[in-house]
């Protein structure tokens, strides 16, 4: 969720979202109806959210969000095919209440995503699907050094299926792993699901030196976004600075 600030910033933001094909992966929000109107006019395919205000007056925004629950608001928005988002849902009791279908809440914003994810898993409501994305190439200009010591001129770089490629003339794409300065020990972008066999600690680094003090329940299943081999063990990234090992 992104909140644009001012027309100039909004237009630049929309250009970047379009450039990197993120239209289906972002949600724009604002207290300003004028800002939301600009977003819908320039990029109508990107969903928008009105923050607070009169929920009965929203037209273009797909969602309405506020920081207190109202059954009347939920009923109205659902009857008009609008989504209802709540922010500041920070207690487990609130989370359990608002994930129930009868509450009419489409999404929850919280300062405690691990607790919320645990509640969603318990209610079989945490379903996300990922696909490999090919981002458009960017123009560059310079030499790249291959592992065999040869220098090659590259004029483009792109990300395809989570792998970085450089374009070298004539019409040859070189994988980052073929470069002399490639770092095989760096985390590799990869998505999937992992089921924990036992209660598992969360670390803030893939080397497992900094324990966050939090743990995930045994037999719970989580989405991961990157992996890294450390001392023969595999570290899984659960998003941000959250690492676990199986």
Q: Are residues 109 and 50 in the same domain?
A: yes
17 pLDDT above the threshold of 70: yes
Which of these three, 90, 122, 154, is where a domain ends? Answer: 122
At residue 129, the pLDDT reads: 42
Does some domain include residue 131? no
Does some domain include residue 133? no
Residue 61 CA, distance from chain mean position: 21
Does some domain include residue 226? yes
Q: Are residues 80 and 42 in the same domain?
A: yes
83 pLDDT above the threshold of 90: yes
172 pLDDT above the threshold of 90: no
> CA-CA distance, 234 to 227, in Å (whole number)?
7
Q: How many domains does the chain have?
A: 3
- Written as one string, the DSSP assignment of the chain is -B---SHHHHHHHHHHHHHTT-TTT--EEES-HHHHHHHHHH-TTS-EEEESS-GGG--S-SEEEESS--HHHHHHHHHTT-EEEEE---SHHHHHHHTSGGG---EEE-S-HHHHHHHHHHTT---------BPPPEEEEEEEEBTTS-EEEEEEEEEETTEEEEEETTTEEEEGGGBTT--TTS-EEEEEEEE-SS-EEEESSTTS-SEEEEEE-TT-EEEEEEEEEETTEEEEE-SSS-EEE-
Confidence of residue 121 (pLDDT cuts 50, 70, 90): confident
Does some domain include residue 62? yes
Does some domain include residue 183? no
Q: Are residues 143 and 202 in the same domain?
A: no
Identify which has the larger pLDDT, 185 or 12.
Answer: 12
194 pLDDT above the threshold of 60: yes
User: Domain of 73: which CATH number?
Assistant: 3.20.20.190
Q: Are residues 146 and 173 in the same domain?
A: yes
Does some domain include residue 101? yes
Q: Are residues 33 and 94 in the same domain?
A: yes
Is residue 60 within 8 A of residue 48, CB to CB? The reply is: yes
Task: Give percent of the chain with pLDDT exceeding 70.
Answer: 92
Q: Are residues 13 and 114 in the same domain?
A: yes
Does some domain include residue 128? no
4 pLDDT above the threshold of 80: yes
Q: Are residues 32 and 95 in the same domain?
A: yes
Give the domain extent around 27. 7-122
> pLDDT tens digits for 124-166?
665 544 444 556 677 888 888 998 888 999 988 887 766 788 8
Q: Are residues 27 and 62 in the same domain?
A: yes
214 pLDDT above the threshold of 80: yes
123 pLDDT above the threshold of 90: no
At residue 200, the pLDDT reads: 93
Q: Are residues 67 and 118 in the same domain?
A: yes
Q: Are residues 85 and 160 in the same domain?
A: no
Give me the sign of the Cα torsion angle 36, 39, 43, 49: negative
At residue 86, the pLDDT reads: 95
Which of these three, 130, 155, 178, is where a domain ends? Answer: 178
pLDDT, the chain, mean: 85
Q: Are residues 167 and 97 in the same domain?
A: no
Q: Are residues 27 and 117 in the same domain?
A: yes
CB-based burial of residue 39 (10 Å sphere; 0-12 exposed, 13-18 middle, 19+ buried)?
A: buried
Does some domain include residue 16? yes
């Amino acid at each position: 969720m992104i909140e644009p600030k001012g027309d100039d910033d909004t237009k630049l933001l929309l250009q970047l979202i379009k450039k990197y094909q993120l239209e289906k992966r972002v949600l724009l929000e604002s207290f300003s109806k004028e800002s939301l109107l600009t977003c819908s006019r320039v990029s109508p395919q990107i969903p928008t959210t009105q923050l607070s205000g009169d929920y009965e007056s929203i037209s273009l925004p797909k969602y309405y969000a506020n920081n207190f629950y109202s059954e009347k608001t939920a009923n109205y928005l659902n009857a008009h095919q609008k989504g209802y988002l709540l922010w500041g849902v920070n207690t487990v009791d609130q989370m359990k209440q608002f994930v129930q279908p009868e509450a009419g809440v489409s999404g929850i914003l919280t300062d405690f995503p691990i607790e919320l994810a645990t509640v969603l898993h318990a209610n079989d409501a945490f379903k996300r699907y990922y696909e490999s994305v090919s981002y458009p190439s960017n123009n560059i200009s310079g030499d790249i050094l291959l592992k065999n010591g040869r220098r090659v001129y590259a004029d483009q770089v792109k990300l395809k299926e989570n792998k970085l490629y450089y374009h070298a003339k004539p019409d040859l794409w070189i994988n980052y792993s073929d470069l002399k300065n490639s770092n095989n020990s760096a985390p590799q972008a990869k998505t999937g699901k992992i089921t924990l066999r036992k209660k598992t600690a969360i670390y803030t680094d893939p080397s497992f030196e900094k324990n966050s003090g939090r743990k995930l329940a045994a037999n719970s299943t989580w989405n991961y976004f990157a992996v890294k081999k450390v001392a023969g063990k595999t570290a899984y990234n659960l998003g941000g600075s959250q690492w676990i090992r199986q």
